Each structure stands twice: as C-alpha cells, then as structure tokens.
Structure 1
Amino acid sequence: MGMSEFYGPRDDEQSLTTLNRALDLGVTFLDTAETYGLGHNEELVGRLIAERGRDAVTIATKFGILREPGAYARVISNDPAYIREACEKSLKRLGTDYIDLYYIHRIELDRPIDEPMEALARLVEEGKIGHIGICEASPATLRRANTVHQITALQSEYSLWTRDPEDGVFAACRELGIGFVPYSPLGRGFLTGAMNSTEDLAEDDARRSIPRFEDANVSRNLFIVQAVQKMAEDKGCKPAQIALAWVIAQGQAHDVPIVPIPGTKRVQYLEENVSALSVELTPDDIEELNRLVPPGAAAGERYPAEGMKGLNA
C-alpha cells in the first residue's frame, strides 16, 4: 500500500527494485488491493509480473472499498455485480488471467455475507480466482461465510499492540482450517522505534489522522517500543525483527498458520524484515513481551471513525 499512497510520495522505480529484491530473497506472496492508489498498486505489481513471470509470484488482492481520488472517505460495497466488475479490472491491471487469493476487503454491514460469497464461489468455478479470503471478519461471520465456500485466509490487523484476533478469531480460524494473514505487523512502523512523536511524520502522512498516532497517545504508547527495543538490544537485532518474530511465533501459540505481510518500499527494510526469520524468541521471551505489553495496552483507536466501519464485522 505504501508504495502507492498514504506514506509519502511514491517512487515506482524504487518500489520495483524492492519487489524484485523480495523475489530474489524468496518472498513471493504479494498483497495488494484495488483501492491502493486507486489501481496504481495493482498496475505496479503487474509490471513486476511482466518482468519476472506469473509463476514467480502468488498474488492476493482485494475489493470492497470505493474511494474518490485524493480522499480518505470511502464506501463499502459487497454487491455481486460490482465484485465481478472489480475482479475483471484487477485482472487487467495485474496483467494476469487469474488471482491466487481474492479478499473481501471490508464487509458491507447491511448485506448478508452469503451474497458476496456466492459471487466469489462463481469466480472460483470460472477459474478467475483460486481462493477466497476475507478481511477483518468476526468469528460469526467467518463461520457463516465458510458454509457457502471454504475461506482460505483471514486478513486482519495484528501485532504486539493490536491483539484483537486473540478474542475468538484465532479459535474460529483453527476450527475452520483458515490461515491468518496479519497486516501492519509492525504497528504501521511504530514498533520499529522510528518515531517518538507525531512530528516525526510528514505532513501528508495518513497516520496523522489515526487516533493511535496523536501526540498524546504516541507518548502513552512509547513503553511498548521500549520493551521491544530492550529485547532487540539483548539479542543484537532490530526492533522490527523482534516485533515480527513475536507475530510469527503466535502461529504456534494459537495453532493457526500465520503469514505476516510487513509493508515497505525500501530494500533496506525489506532485508531487515526477512532477517526476522532468523531471530529466535524463547518461551520466556514471548512471556516477557506479553507481560510488558498485554492485550488492550495500546492507547487510541487503530483507525479514524470512517476507517472503523466494517472492522470485526
């Protein structure tokens, strides 16, 4: 997402260099969405596919959030006719004839989940998508959706400072055989220790609109970063690697397959993130982080009011 908007100016050549380096390092699961840059991000991934070949990547993309250019305000739609149209447009932008994993990006609260699921099941039958995913769904919605067609993956925000999925979601995933894809596993960069106040963010950085990144809440949340930094110092690694290693370890803790998708547009941070796979956290390390940063410890909501629509629906 950050390669196309929200986190400062975009640089397509830098982004493509980072994407190519990801493939060279064995990172082949790429997550995008029609709403990221209003199609720009899918086109960027399409350029990578054209260069490296379709078989080099596993592509996940999403539908369901409609926005106007340059605006955050959005409309959530799970209308079946729109789903088919959105899928065709994504296929064209990506330059492929199939999408490996197609997500409901946000759930339309006034529409039965059966409707989009039935539309997605037809796309599976036609070979346009391989698997169905859903984002930010409650256990009840997961169970209902899964009666229509098998859900392959649930994508929700999850990190050391966002622990919501531990409240029933992991149990539902385990019960239904659904994998979990945590987005923002680095707390939108906060857990890397890169910021101490809102002033560390560019004026046009979208995080300025998020309550959790308001100055008062940043100050209240610095204890979380300090806990991560202390462990990183003890282990001789980066704070981001501790934060990612903790997320990865939760797969075993909750007996659910977990594939985090840390976003970055720079090779340096990509390489740091991949190196998190070599960071070993002992049970005592994990217990210590859980003690220092228990569920619900972070101050501030994780989205502005508009963005809270459709979360855990």
Structure 2
Amino acid sequence: MTDEETPAKRVYAPDFLTELFRNPLDPGYADAAARKAVEGEPTGARKWLTTGISTITLVALGLLLVVAYQQTVADEPARTKARATLIDQVQKRRDETVQLQDRADQLSNEVNELRERELGGATVARLRDLEAATGLAAVKGSGAKITLADGPTPINAVTGERNTAARVKDTDLQLATNALWSLGAEAITVNGQRLTATSTIRQAGEAILVDFRPITTPYEVIAIGPDDLAKDFEKGYAGRFFKQLAAKYGMSFGTHEAKDVTLAAATELKLRVAEPSTPPPAPSGSTSPSGSASAVPSASEGGR
C-alpha cells in the first residue's frame, strides 16, 4: 500500500480537564514570570507608574465602598419608619375589627331580647332550633373530635423541591366533614370555624381556607352528634383512609370523644332563598310523560 492509499490517522485533542491538570499554570503567567526573571523588578518611571495606578485603583474602590455604606445607613431610618408605620396600621385595623365584632355581638343580643319579648316562648324556641341547625347560633353538646396534622416534608437534595405528600389537603378535610355529616353530625367546626350549608373548604397554594379564612396545622374537626360518632368515624371509610395515610406518609391522625363542647356560631353566614319555578305549559297535542323526576346528587371527592 502506497502512502497515498494509507488513511490519515485521527488526532484527538486532550479534553479540557486533562489539559487543566497537566498544565495548571496559564501560559501568560508563565511568560510573565520568565520575563520578570530576565528583566528583574521594574525600576524608575515604570515602577512609579505601576505603583500609582494600583494606588488610584485602591482609593477609588475605597471611595465606592464608603459611598455605598453611607447610602445604606442613610436609607435605613426610612425603611425602619415605613415598617413601623405598616405595623401600626395593621394593629389599628385589628383593634377596629375587634371593636366592630363586639358591637355586632351586642346588637345581636339586643335583637334576641326584643324578639323573645315580642314573639313569645314557642316561636322563639322554634327560631332557636332553626338557628342552631343553620349555624346562626352557638350550640353545645357531645360528639367527636378528629385531629389531623402534617407529616414530615423532606427536601430533595438534588432538585431542592419539598415532598408534600404528608401534608393535609383540603380534600382530606372535606372527606372528614362529609363523613361526619353522613354519620349524623348536627354541627361541625374546623379549627373553630363553624360550617354551614354554604361553607367551602379550599386550597390556596400551601394554605387551606375555610370560608375564605386561613387555617393551619394541626387541624381539629369537632362535631356534635350521636354518642357513637367517634367510633363510627374511626371504623368507617374516612377513618381507615386516614390510618393508611398516617402509616404511609407519617401524617398525624386521631379520633376522640368530645364531651360538653360549645361550637360558636358562623360569623358570616350567607343566606340564599329558593323560589319554586312554574313549568311552561305543554304545547297542544303533546302528552306529558308520567313519572317523577329525581335530582342527580353531586359527588364530593375526598382524600387524595
């Protein structure tokens, strides 16, 4: 085989890491060190020029640091004042809210006294029963207390994301409350928030809202109902489901009997009025089908 027929050999350049460990010193530094060894230290005007440039650079950096420090110190009182103003405004709003709530409670008591004076005993007793059933009045009795709490939320060392499988979700609280209603509960609160026919339990990011009010772990669901409410809940589907979550993810779950508990009234009850609709008249010549129509129940999913 002639030289023309011999294939050219492929040359592989060393990779970056291999070259870095083989020649750790930059060629420019090596040339400067060799030149310094030959020429020696700079002298005369060259030395003064190098020293002057270095001095000017250091002075400029120092001035920049001083100016930045003074600006930070000058802005600090303004930030502190703004923060103090915001804290004061929040505290004032809280105080106003407490005063308004006390005023509302006082007016409610006055209305109840006038109502009892004008309507009489039997009518007032019926109204009290309706208020207790709808959540307008506080109720007292015995039942069950269900406690749920978040489990550990480890952080992934690679991605930095948190595993939230052990956190209590809004669907978990929905499952617990729906199970208590189905077992005969007459009144329920979630972390002190009274549930009504129009209450909502929703997730907003990492927070859970009950009627648009945030609640935090641990979650306490207290219900007034039959004597065996706690046992029936623990043996039912919801109790078994939460036991599985506790065993798998480390979530905290407990069922206890509640004796002589008082559930506060709903703070913002939104009432809705339904009016019967009159069906349109059937067209002439058509026959109306016999039989009754049944409403389709809405399903509420709970758990995960």
TM-score (norm 2): 0.22
* Larger-Rg structure: 2
